[in-house]
Amino acid sequence: MRRYLYVSLAAAFVVIALKLGAWHLTGSVGFLSDALESLVNVVAAGFALLMVAIAGRPPDTDHPYGHTKAEYFSSALEGLLIGVAALGIAAEAVRRLLAPQPVHMVAVGAVLNVAATLINLAVARWMLGGARHLRSIVLEADARHLLADVWTSAGVVLGVLLVPLTGWLWLDPVVGIVVAGHIVGEAWRLVARSVDGLMDRSLPDSDLAEVEQVLGRFRSENLRFDHVRTRRAGTRRFVGMHMHMPAHWSLGRAAACRLQVERALTQHVAGLVVTIEMLPQGQESLQDGGPDAPPTN
Ligand SMILES: [Zn+2]
């Protein structure tokens, strides 16, 4: 796993150097924004390494719930930095649009960019194979992102190559603006994802439906579930709930029933951490309405 991430990180540095070289030679904003797009990959690979290192640590006394939320700090920061950089490039592209400038040595720049893109393509295909082998979502997401960048770069090279052929000086800044807009979108997703995680947003509807379906199998005259709450932290998913049962049940019977529910839930939703509070029918915990609250069943 780490081998793949280190290689993709090293490749990304080479790719950025090549793309920055293309920008430096040609003065094309399109090439500059394409280089920034590759910087997103370096950051993504670095972030994946960090996630594997920190989030994979087992819970300890200081962090009894584990370290999976660590990734949110890094992805929020990355999103902000990338977004600001993309906006800066978009501003530069708009300036170029208003005062068009010629691009130079386009052929050499295009060759550098194509070389960089071929490196990306090779690394992406190699990582996709690794992701299938290791069944890693992180690795697969990284590889898919690289593949998407291959298409972006192809579009950029085509657009910039057309500038000297057609004499359309506006084409280069327009390419730059389109790519910068795409990067801002990616940055926004990174930030939104971190905010959702830090704010304990519920699990996606598909997971909630799975939980509901499992609970539905256990619901009966005697068993009722309420106050179902879900959240996620990195790759870990949590669900908490009340299980209401007749007050005369023995603790042993109640615990056996609770275990069945927990087992069914963890079988259906991979990586789910289940917390079940056992309560008699018609009685709630203080935080959920208290003993004086009207019975809900
Ligand atoms: Zn309840």
For residue 62, being part of any structural domain is answered with: yes
Mean pLDDT of 111-126: 90
Domain edge (last residue) among 165, 198, 231: 198
Q: Which residues pair with 274 in a beta bridge?
A: 239
Query: In terms of DSSP bridges, do strands 236-245 and 224-233 run parallel, antiparallel, or are they unpaired?
Result: antiparallel
Ligand 1 center–CA 289 separation, angstroms: 8
Categorize the per-residue pLDDT at 211 as very low, low, confident or very high, splitting at 50, 70 and 90.
very high
Domain edge (last residue) among 170, 198, 226: 198
pLDDT at residue 67 greater than cutoff 90? no
Ligand 1 center–CA 286 separation, angstroms: 10
Q: pLDDT at position 255, please?
A: 96
**pLDDT digits over 123-168, tens only?**
989 988 887 887 766 677 777 778 878 878 887 888 888 887 888 8
For residue 94, being part of any structural domain is answered with: yes
**pLDDT digits over 164-187, tens only?**
788 888 888 888 888 888 888 888
The number of domains in the chain is: 2
Q: Is 62 or 193 the better-scoring residue by pLDDT?
A: 62
Ligand 1 center–CA 59 separation, angstroms: 29
Judge if 7 and 106 occupy the same domain: yes
Q: What does the radius of gyration of the chain's CA atoms come to, in whole angstroms?
A: 26
Q: pLDDT at position 292, please?
A: 63
- What is the DSSP code string of 107-155? HHHHHHHHHHHHHHHHHHHHHHHHHHHHT-HHHHHHHHHHHHHHHHHHH
For residue 296, being part of any structural domain is answered with: no
In degrees, rounded to 5, the angle at the alpha carbon of residue 235 between the alpha carbons of residues 200 and 231 is 25
For residue 297, being part of any structural domain is answered with: no
Q: Classify residue 80 by its DSSP letter.
A: H
Judge if 168 and 270 occupy the same domain: no
Judge if 244 and 194 occupy the same domain: no
Ligand 1 center–CA 196 separation, angstroms: 26
For residue 156, being part of any structural domain is answered with: yes
Q: pLDDT at position 169, please?
A: 83
Indicate if the alpha-carbon torsion angle 59, 63, 65, 70 is positive or negative. negative
For residue 24, being part of any structural domain is answered with: yes
Judge if 220 and 283 occupy the same domain: yes
Domain edge (last residue) among 156, 171, 198: 198
Domain that holds residue 75: 2-198
Ligand 1 center–CA 46 separation, angstroms: 43
Ligand 1 center–CA 42 separation, angstroms: 47
Query: What gap in Å lies between CA 114 and CA 108, rounded to an integer?
Result: 10
Residue type, 205: D
**pLDDT digits over 27-66, tens only?**
888 888 888 878 877 776 777 677 767 777 888 898 888 8
pLDDT at residue 193 greater than cutoff 60? yes
Ligand 1 center–CA 224 separation, angstroms: 8
Ligand 1 center–CA 235 separation, angstroms: 28
Domain harbouring 236, CATH code: 3.30.70.1350
Q: pLDDT at position 296, please?
A: 54
